[in-house]
Structure 1
Amino acid sequence: MKNILKKILPKQILKFIIKLRMGNYYYLFNLFPINKNKIVFSNYYGKGYGDNGKYICNEIIENKYNYELIWLTNKSIIDKANFPKQVTPVKYKSFRGLYELATAGIWIDNCRKMFYPPKKSKQHYIQTWHGGIALKQIEKDVENKLSEGYIISAKEDSKIADTFISNSEFCTDMYRNSFWYNGVIKEFGSPRCDILLEKTEKINEKIKDYFKIDNNNKILIYAPTFRADGNLDVYDVNFNELLNSLEKKFLGKWTILVRLHPNLSNKSNFIKYDKNIINASQYDDMYELLAASDILLTDYSSTMFEFAITYKPVILYTKDIEEYKKDRNFYFDIYSLPFPIAENNSYLLEEIENFQLEEYKSKIKNFFKDIGMLEKGTASQNVVEYIRKEI
C-alpha cells in the first residue's frame, strides 16, 4: 500500500501526509510557553538511557545544573529502562511527548527526528548523530538506496537543526557534504566516547559483576553490524577456536561478549552461548561494554573508529566485503584502514597470532591524524558548557 501511495500521490501531498504523521502540524502547542531550562532527549526513536544523550544528561546531573530533563522512550521499556531520578521518561510518539517537545528550550537527538511538533524560533535543536566517523556511506551519498519518506524527513530534520556535534574533521566534512546541512557544527567530540578515555576500573567491575565474569578474565566484544538482506551466515565466528587463540597470544582467561546490532538483537539466539560466550545484545549501554573490553571484533560498524581511540586492538571479520559494498559502498578503502582484516575463521586466528601492538598503535595514530580525530574525553563537558553559555 505504501508503494502504491508513493506512485499515485503528488510529492507535495506525500510530504504533507508524512509531516502530519510526524506531529508537525500540532500548532495548538504554540499556546504554551517555552521553558528555557527544559531539555528533551530522544535516543534511536525511543530507546532507553544511552548513547550521547546519556552522557550529556550525566554531566548535567553531576554538576547539579538547574535543568528539567525529559527522555522520550518506547512504552515497552519505559518502566524497565534504568533512568536516574533526575530524568523523567515520557512515552515516545505520544501527545505528552509532543507537549514536552513544544515547551522545551532544547531538543537533543541522535537520529533524524521522526515525531515532533512545529519547532519555534526560540527553541534550539542539537543533533549529536549516532555514527560519528562512518565506513559505509550514508544519507545523501546513498540517496538512491533510501525511501522517499526518509529523504523528506532527513532534509526537514537538517533544516530545523541548529547545531550538529562532530568528533573529527572527517565527520564535519561528512555533515557538510552528505547531510543536506549548512548550519553550525561544533567539533566537541562524541559524548558517548568520553567513557572510553576515562579510568575504567568501576566500569570493569560493573560489567563483570553484571555478566558474572571472573575479575581476572579479559574481554573480547564481538559487535558486528546488520545486513540489509537479513543474512545470518556472515556471523559464523568460531568462538571456541577464537578463545583458544586469544589465550595463546595474549595469555590469561578470556570471555567473549556478543553485542549484535539493534536490528539483529531480537534474533540473537542463532548463536550458541555458554559461560564464556555471553549474549550482551540487550545490555543498555554499548559504550560501557566497549570501555570494559580489551579487544573489539567487528565488521563494518563505525564502533571500530571509536574503540580505536583507546589504542586497544580492533580486528575486522569480513566474510562478505564485495557483497556489502554493493549495498552501501565505503568512504575508505577498507584495506587501507589500520585494522587487521580476516575474511574467514582461519585468517582470523592468523591475524591474532601475528598481531603486533606497537605497530598497530603507530598505524592508528597516523590514521587519526589524517582524518582529524578530535576525541579528548571532554565532549560531554563541551556540549553542556555550550548549552549553558551560548544557548
Structure 2
Amino acid sequence: MNMFKFFSRIYRIFKSILTRRFIYGYFYNLMCDIFSVKDKYIFLESHHGKDFGGNPFYIAKYLANNPNFKDFHLVMVGPFHRKKWLLKQLNTKKITIIKPYSFSYAFHLATCKWLINDTSFPLYFNRRSEQKYLNTWHGTPLKALGRDVANETFSHISNIQRNFFHSNHLLAPNSYTEKIILDSYMLRNIWEGEVIRSGYPRNDILFASRHQTLSQNQINIAFMPTWRGNFADQKEASLKLIEELKLLFTYLDAQLPEHITFWVRLHPMVQGYIELSSYSRIKCFPDTCEAYSHLAVCHALVTDYSSVMFDFATTLRPIYLYTPDEEAYRSDRNMYMKLDELPFQRAENQQSLLKLLININSIVNFSLTKKYSDFVDKFCAWDKGDNTRSLCNVFFNKEHEVDVYQCKGEKNKKRVFIYTGALQNNGITRSFKTLLSMINLERYDVTILADIGYNLDQSDIYFRSLPKDIKYIPYKSSVYIGPIQAVKAALVYLFKKDWGNDCKILSKVWKNEYRRVVGDAKFDVFINFNGYSWKVALLSLGIDYKKVIYVHSDMLGEIASNKIADTRLLKLSYQSADTVAVVREGLETTFCGAIYDYSSKVVYVPNPLLLDVKEKSLALIETAFLEGNTAPDYANVENALVSKKSFRFVNVGRFAPEKGQIRLIKAFEKVWIDNQDMQLFLIGGYGPILNQIRDVIKKSRAQNSIFIIVGSENPFPLIQQMDTFVFSSFYEAIGLVLYEAMQLELPIISTDIPGPSELLQEGYGLVVENSTDGLVHGMLAALANKIPQKRYDFVQHNMYALNQFYKCIETSNINE
C-alpha cells in the first residue's frame, strides 16, 4: 500500500466527517440503529423548513381536523418564531414542531413512519424499509428541471433525484408535470413507485374560491415572483434581484390608486430583505394565514416565471406576467414553454405593468379566453376541490379514488448500471464513450453512475450531451454511517491486512451507502468500467445483483508503480464480482498468479474502437490543443509543422511514469544527433510527471525539436501530421492509441510488452526491445522506411467487442 496515499485518504475522510452535516448524519444513522419506526407519527416538511406552507401544510391541516387520524402525531419542520401561528392554524395538541437540520430533526426523520416533503430531505436521509415517503413536489414547471437545465446540471439533479428514488409515491398535478419529473430526473424504468395523479392540496382553497364574489371597491393584487439567478453566485444574484424589486415597489407605490393594494410574497431566498412598511400601496402577505389562503381572495396575480401561475389559474382569474429579463433568465435556466404560448398578458417594464394593473375593468369583469380555457383544461383538470382528501386516502389508506400510475421497468429490457470514472482525458474514458455509443438501447436500459468528484465542468458538458434515453445518477462519495459501524469499519480498514470474513462489516456499511445513493432504483447488472476507483470498489459491496468489473491494464504493474493505494480493495473487487472483463486475453495472468486467482470469472471483452478518427483529423489543428490556439505551446508547434523536411515522431499518452516518455526523449536525443531534421511530439492529458518531462526536455540537446502538447479529446488533426507513431510504455493492456494510429495509416513502433507486441507482430507495426536502445532501433528503422504496415478490420473488431460485452452482461462467467 502506498502510505502517502493511504494517510492522505484518511486525512480527507476525517476532514469531511467533522462537519455539521456529517455529524447530523451520524446521529441520524445511530437513531436508525437504536430506535424502531413509530407507526402513527407523520413527518411533514416544506421548502427545507423555511416556513410552514405549501402542500405539506394543507395535508397537516386536513389530518389535524380528521377524526380518522385522531391517534396520529404530527411532526412539522419550520422556524420556531412561527410556532404559535401554526398551533393556532392546526388546533391540535398532537403536534411536535422542530427546527430544520437539528438533532431533533434527524431523530424524527429516522423514526416517523410517514414522511411528506415538497422538496427534498438532506443528503444523509436513507428511507428505512418500514417508512412510507410521499414527495408532493412544489409546482408545475415552467423553468427547466433536472437534466434539462442549461448550466450546473448536477446541482439541479443529485439530491432531488435521490429523494425521488427513495419515495414510494410522487404527486403529479397534471400529466405535463408527471412526464417532466419522470424524464428530467431520469426515473423511468428504474424507479418502481407510484405516481398519484391528483391536484395539489394547496389548490383546494383556490378551487373553492372560484365562484366567490370579491369586492369591486378594493382591488387586491398578489405579486409572487420566483428567484432569479444561478446557484454558482446565489448571493450576488439575490442582491441584484433585491435592488430591482425595490425600484419596482417604489415606482408602483407612487403610481397606484388608493383602491388597489399590491400584496407581495417573495421567494424564500430574498424574503425579509426588503422592508415594505414604508410603502402605502405595497404590503406583505398577511402573516396571520398561509399564503394560498390570502391568494384565494386576491382579484389577480402578478408573477414572472413562477409555477404559482398554474395553481392560480384554477380560480379562473386574471394573471399577468412581469418579465423584464426574459432573455437572460431563459439563457440561465431554459424553459419548457415560450412565454408567448401562455394565455396571460405580459409587461416587460414598470410602466407597462402599471398600465395593466390600473385597468380595473379588465380585472373585475374578466372573462376567460379560449386560450386561457385550454390552459386550465391542460394544467388544472385534476383539481377537483378535494385534492387533499383523495391524496391522503391513497397514501395512508391505499384507497385509489384518483388515478394512480404504477411505474415499472420495460419488459425484456435489461437495466444496466455502469460506473465511468472521472472522465479524464485518457483511453478508459474514450473506450467508455465509444462503447456507450454502440449499445443497443432498445435491448438495454442504460444508467451511468456519474462520478462528480473530479472534472466537474467537463463532466457536466458531456452528460448534458447524452441522448435522453441514457440516464445518469450523479455520485460524490459522502458516506453516512452510525458511530458504532464507523469504528468497526475503521478498525478493519486500518489494522486488518487480510479482510477475509471481516468484509461482512464493510459490506453492511456499504450496503447502507449504496441504498442511500440509489434508494429503490432497480438494476439487473452493475459494471465497474473504470476498474480503479476505491470508493466504487467499496460501494459494489452493497450491490446484491450481478456485478462486472473491467481490467484495463496489468494491475500488478500498477501496484508496483504505486497507482493502487490499497491492494486489498482491488482484491475485494475481484472477489465480489460475478464477472471480470479483461480487455486483452491473458491480462489477468500476473495478478491471478501473485495475489488472487479470479481466472474462472474472466471474459475477454476488447474495448471498442472509434471509427471516425479520420473524420476528426480533418478539424483545424488548434482543436488538438486543450486550450486551442491560446495554448502556450501552440505557436511553437505551428512553426515546427511548417518545415516539409522534418521527420516527425509522435507519442500519445497520459504524462505518467509507466508511459515511458522520459526514456523516449533520451532515445530520440541519441538518434537526433545524426538526424537533426527529426522532431518529437508528446501529446497527452495532464499527468503526475508533466513538469518532470518538461525539465528533462529543457536539459536535452534536442530541446528545440521536442514539443509537449496538452491535448484535447481530439488530438487527431495533429497526429495525422506525423510520420511515425512511437509507443514507449513499460506495460499496457493494449493501448487504444495504437488502433487510432492505424486508422490514420501511421507506421507504428512499440516496445515489446504483452498486448501491443501480440497485435503488431501480426504485421501491423514494428516491435522493439523494451528499453531505450530498443526505441533507438525503432526510430532508425522508421527513418529507413522499414516499418511493416497492413490494414486492420476495425468493423469486425467492434462487432466482436460488442458481442463480448453483451456476453459479459448476460452470463455469470465464461463457462455458462
TM > 0.5 fold call: yes
What is the one-letter code of the residue matched to 1:323?
A
Amino acid at match of 1:335: D
The residue that corresponds to 2:507 in the other structure is none
1:368 aligned residue (376, 388, 395): 376
Instruction: Give 1:145 shift.
Output: 2.0
> Is the alpha carbon distance of 1:13 and 1:381 closer, same or farther for their aligned partners in structure 2, counting shifts above 3 Å?
farther
The answer to whether 1:332 aligns with 2:361 is no
Pick from 256, 260, 278 the counterpart of residue 243 of structure 1.
256
Match of 2:151 among 137, 144, 150: 144
Tell me, yes or no, if the aligned pair for 2:126 and 2:166 is still in contact at 8 Å.
no
Report which stretch shifted further, 325-334 or 26-35: 26-35
Which has more radius of gyration? 2
Q: Which residue number corresponds to residue 776 of structure 2?
A: none
Identify if the C-alpha distance between structure 1 residues 200 and 337 changes in structure 2 by more than 3 Å, giving closer, same or farther: closer
Q: Answer yes or no: is 1:305 the counterpart of 2:305.
A: no
Aligned twin of 2:58: 55
Asked if 2 retains the 8 angstrom alpha-carbon contact of 1:45 and 1:92, the reply is yes
Give the corresponding residue for 2:291. 286
Who is 1:211 aligned against?
Answer: none
What residue identity is the alignment partner of 1:159? Answer: F
CA deviation map 1:234-292 (0-9, x unaligned): 43433246633xx8xxxxx22111221111112212x6743432133867622122112
Give matches, 1:101-250, under 5 Å: 101-114=109-122, 117-130=125-138, 132-142=139-149, 144-146=151-153, 148=155, 151-181=157-187, 182=191, 183-199=193-209, 217-228=218-229, 229-230=237-238, 231-232=240-241, 233-235=243-245, 236-237=247-248, 238-240=251-253, 243-244=256-257
Question: Among 315, 320, 324, which residue is 1:319 paired with?
Answer: 324
Q: State the match for 2:96 in structure 1.
A: 88
Structure scoring higher RCO (CA < 8 A, sep ≥ 6) equals 1
Do the aligned partners of residues 95 and 351 (structure 1) sit closer, same or farther apart at CA in structure 2, a change above 3 Å counting? closer
Is residue 280 of structure 2 the alignment partner of residue 255 of structure 1?
A: no
- Give the TM-score of the pair, scaled to structure 2: 0.41
Deviation at 1:100, TM superposition (A): 1.6
Unaligned regions of 5+ residues in structure 1, if any? Answer: 1-7, 205-213, 248-252
Return the alpha-carbon distance in structure 2 between the equivalents of residues 319 and 259 of structure 1.
18
Match of 1:210 in 2: none
CA 1:366–1:118 in 2, change beyond 3 Å: closer, same or farther?
Answer: closer
How far has the Cα of 1:155 moved from its partner? 2.8
CA deviation map 1:144-182 (0-9, x unaligned): 32455x643223212211111111111111111112333
Q: Report the Cα offset of residue 30 of structure 1.
A: 3.1
Cα pair distance change 1:177/1:147, threshold 3 Å: closer
Equivalent residue number for residue 33 of structure 2 = 30
Q: Which amino acid aligns with 1:23?
A: G
Deviation of the 1:102 alpha carbon:
1.9
Question: Per the alignment, do residues 158 and 143 of structure 1 end up closer, same or farther by CA in structure 2, a change over 3 Å counting?
Answer: farther
Q: Which letter does structure 2 place at the counterpart of 1:60?
A: L
Q: In the alignment, residue 48 of structure 2 is paired with which amino acid?
A: Y
Change over 3 Å in CA distance of 1:242–1:369 after alignment to 2: farther
**Which deviates more from structure 2 when the two are superposed, residues 91-100 or residues 301-310?**
91-100
Structure 2 unaligned runs (5+)?
Answer: 1-7, 230-236, 400-816
CA distance in 2, matches of 1:105, 1:26: 15
Match of 1:387?
395
Q: 1:326 to 1:32 in 2, by over 3 A?
A: same
